[in-house]
Chains A and B, each alone.
Chain A
């Protein structure tokens, strides 16, 4: 009802709306649905923060449009082949002998903080000190704690001595640099750093920013305005001023766009796909709408402790019974790729070779259930010889319209082969904070993982990632999947540097995943970018590094 009313009002606007009010092309106002909790690059990982920060702050390495590591502040990625990286004998935290790596980076000569201070190795050393400190409040300290030492050769050149050599070694991952000349006093009491950092207390200090823009105005909860950074030596960005406005309600966000109060909606944290599709139908002639398939993997986690779902034949039947291609076409206009495993087809490690697939085949699904001892009863639901009813619960986040819609469709497909689905939805905080994280879902749980290119599923598929009370419910292997071969493959892939051999290991992982089906794949989500027709150069990546990392390439084309 609420949705219909909203659609009605917006449809009326489509008929009556005049063209957006004239807007200065020197400014760009971007609408997003979240407001960042902090602007400190190290604390809290949040999409809205990454989006804003990338306009004003650059890190040593990121991943590019080709999903490969690339330099932002460095001049070259270290590799064993180019001599900038070198293995050495090392030890794991438990004393096990492993191979470590020494890798040398050089910071760009033209990298400066906004107050004119060069970005130097001092900043790298200080960032390491902050990042590895257990009381700083950094989410994942691994990027810092796995660094054994940093050898400084000059103000611009340093060598990272990393505990472990793995396939990601050319990248610095989530390691962020901090302006030591400004931030050091805030770190005097590490436990208070989160609250005392200048990124929180004085965010418009130009010396905090080393990107094309600097933060010029902060209205907490409302908007962040950015002005050109005079010390940025790269290509000049097109806009004099950027404003990133947080408008949480997506209907209001859309109305703001139509009224000209904002120029564009960021795909990274903006309209959902169904809203964007509806928007394009009504206003596609006045805006560019870009759909970018990405790494957000929607799936069904299967509770393998449930005896019904522990039977592989039942899991396969569940997947054969649903037409994921039709779901993608009918609900998402074909914009969201149906998934066959957790690896996105855009990732170089993706393969279809030898990977079992489960196309829509209700007859095969029924046969698998018969084989597993489930016989159709007079009420249309299957029963086994122990008088158990073939009934599974399907949980997801209440209020997520897309998921609730898909949930209904799945239940209908399964009903056709004699499986009863009990839909039990919960608010996100209960679902993620308790039910999923403590493995309390009895059947299937629908949610998404935000992954990265070539991201090993150590926490989600390795047996060491099964959450238990003993490990304080750590780890994300919520299904309880325990497979020695999967553990071996993950361990081996992590330290395999040869790209070809690693590709083969990745293929084995995908084959095993699709064979054992600890998780039922659904589809990869697509981000929807709504841009004005006069804006060019916005190139979505599909991974966690946002379009704003290339904001200097955005151009106005009249």
Chain B
């Protein structure tokens, strides 16, 4: 197992290095650099100003040379400054990451807490009234555009009822209390949960329906086990594999953020940060943001693989890395 883990870790580092080169190259290939964009909006800027600013920001150097300089500094722990925020990149990521982890983490937990009982309930009687109703709600959750749902929730709970804040992460002025922060989380979490809960419910329901028709489930029922015990001890464990796959992939989203929800609710998370960095040609920030997201996806995939072995005894990882 240890050998397998070391192998996967080396693979992940190689992927991240290649990804950093590809991402840097793609960012460099995008039309227009920050100074070009600035000059387009400022009729007072002179050709001399443009040349000076490009040299100052290193934009007069070829892309490969800039990348090598970045890698060299990064290996020494210096990930540079953000051009957009004039702050060390790591400070900004450290500021934004907890926001996204909290936002998406809470919504994932809430989604799972709803999806599991809903899927089990629906799978007990496929095609029944409850199943149809749950399916309808799931379709609605998947189909409603997040920006529109966000707006609806703001209008209902912030404008009309006045129960919850319309946006932001805490009230301004002084140190915000935990309760205040939680109040600011409710609407964005609700927006994110709507789509997530629907996806998990549908996956788990489909897997449960398939598993519940297996012979070993019939055997368990024939042994006189209660329906609840059959479902939780025998069916659910085997139906979890597709959900674990989905969770593994969603692990990356935990740190890459939810752009639309973050924008609508003025939440300062990773999604908005990465988007702004790409659009603003902030190479250092975009690169680090994307690498953190990629690293999380790789980690999620590894954890999912390990969970498979735990859930399904037929899967095991040998020291040579095979399975």
Contacts of B92 in A (CB 8 A): 220
Q: Is A460 an interface residue (CB 8 A)?
A: yes
Within 8 Å by CB of A259, from B33, B54, B147, B166, lies B166
Contacts of A141 in B (CB 8 A): 49, 52
Q: Is B38 an interface residue (CB 8 A)?
A: yes
Q: Is B167 an interface residue (CB 8 A)?
A: yes
How far does the alpha carbon of A259 sit from the alpha carbon of B38 in the complex, in Å?
35
Chain B residues with a Cβ closer than 8 Å to the other chain, count: 59
Asked if B166 and A261 sit within 8 Å, CB to CB, the answer is yes
Q: Is B68 an interface residue (CB 8 A)?
A: no
Known: A6-B148, A137-B56. A195 touches B81 (CB 8 A): yes
Determine the residue in chain B with the shortest Cβ distance to A452. Answer: B44
Asked if A13 and B37 sit within 8 Å, CB to CB, the answer is no
Asked if B33 and A433 sit within 8 Å, CB to CB, the answer is yes
Determine the residue in chain A with the shortest Cβ distance to B165. Answer: A261
Asked if A6 and B151 sit within 8 Å, CB to CB, the answer is yes
Q: Is A167 an interface residue (CB 8 A)?
A: no
Within 8 Å by CB of A191, from B41, B47, B56, lies B56
Provide the B67-107 mask, 1 if CB < 8 A to any CB of A, else 0: 00000000000000100111100001001000000000000
Contacts of A475 in B (CB 8 A): 46-47
Q: Is B172 an interface residue (CB 8 A)?
A: yes
Asked if A473 and B37 sit within 8 Å, CB to CB, the answer is no
Asked if A194 and B86 sit within 8 Å, CB to CB, the answer is yes
Asked if A140 and B44 sit within 8 Å, CB to CB, the answer is yes
Contacts of B140 in A (CB 8 A): none
Asked if A256 and B166 sit within 8 Å, CB to CB, the answer is yes
Known: A194-B86, A255-B158. A432 touches B36 (CB 8 A): yes
Determine the residue in chain B with the shortest Cβ distance to A467. Answer: B47
Provide the B146-160 mask, 1 if CB < 8 A to any CB of A, else 0: 011011101100111
Determine the residue in chain A with the shortest Cβ distance to B81. Answer: A195
Contacts of B51 in A (CB 8 A): 472, 474
Tell me, rounded to whole Å, the shortest Cβ–Cβ distance linking A3 to chain B: 11
Tell me, rounded to whole Å, the shortest Cβ–Cβ distance linking B77 to chain A: 17
Contacts of B173 in A (CB 8 A): 27, 217, 225, 241, 243
Q: Is B169 an interface residue (CB 8 A)?
A: yes
How far does the alpha carbon of A381 sit from the alpha carbon of B168 in the complex, in Å?
53
Asked if A222 and B168 sit within 8 Å, CB to CB, the answer is yes
Contacts of B56 in A (CB 8 A): 134-135, 137, 191
Known: A195-B86, A433-B36. A17 touches B172 (CB 8 A): no
How far does the alpha carbon of A221 sit from the alpha carbon of B46 in the complex, in Å?
30
Q: Is B43 an interface residue (CB 8 A)?
A: yes
Tell me, rounded to whole Å, the shortest Cβ–Cβ distance linking A519 to chain B: 12
Q: Is A459 an interface residue (CB 8 A)?
A: yes
How far does the alpha carbon of A142 sit from the alpha carbon of B31 in the complex, in Å?
28
Provide the B114-158 mask, 1 if CB < 8 A to any CB of A, else 0: 000000000000000000000000000000010110111011001
How far does the alpha carbon of A43 sit from the alpha carbon of B84 in the complex, in Å?
12
Asked if B86 and A437 sit within 8 Å, CB to CB, the answer is no
The residue among A140, A194, A221, A246 with the most chain B CB atoms within 10 A of its own CB is A221
Determine the residue in chain A with the shortest Cβ distance to B92. Answer: A220
Tell me, rounded to whole Å, the shortest Cβ–Cβ distance linking B1 to chain A: 42
Asked if A437 and B87 sit within 8 Å, CB to CB, the answer is no
Asked if A220 and B167 sit within 8 Å, CB to CB, the answer is no
Provide the B302-315 mask, 1 if CB < 8 A to any CB of A, else 0: 00000000000000
Contacts of B281 in A (CB 8 A): 429
Tell me, rounded to whole Å, the shortest Cβ–Cβ distance linking B227 to chain A: 43
Interface segment, B11-19, B206-214, B258-266? B258-266
Asked if B168 and A436 sit within 8 Å, CB to CB, the answer is no
Q: Is A12 an interface residue (CB 8 A)?
A: yes
Q: Is B40 an interface residue (CB 8 A)?
A: yes
Q: Which 3 A-B pairs have the closest CB atoms?
A: A433-B32, A474-B47, A432-B40
- 28 inter-chain pairs at a CB distance below 8 angstroms, sorted by A residue, are A10-B155, A37-B84, A140-B49, A200-B86, A220-B87, A220-B92, A220-B95, A221-B268, A221-B273, A222-B266, A243-B172, A247-B167, A251-B147, A252-B150, A252-B151, A252-B167, A256-B154, A261-B168, A429-B31, A432-B32, A433-B31, A433-B32, A434-B31, A434-B32, A437-B39, A449-B43, A457-B43, A472-B51
Partner-A contacts on B (CB < 8 A): 30-33, 36-54, 56, 81, 84-87, 92, 95, 145, 147-148, 150-152, 154-155, 158-160, 162, 165-169, 172-173, 263-266, 268, 272-273, 279, 281
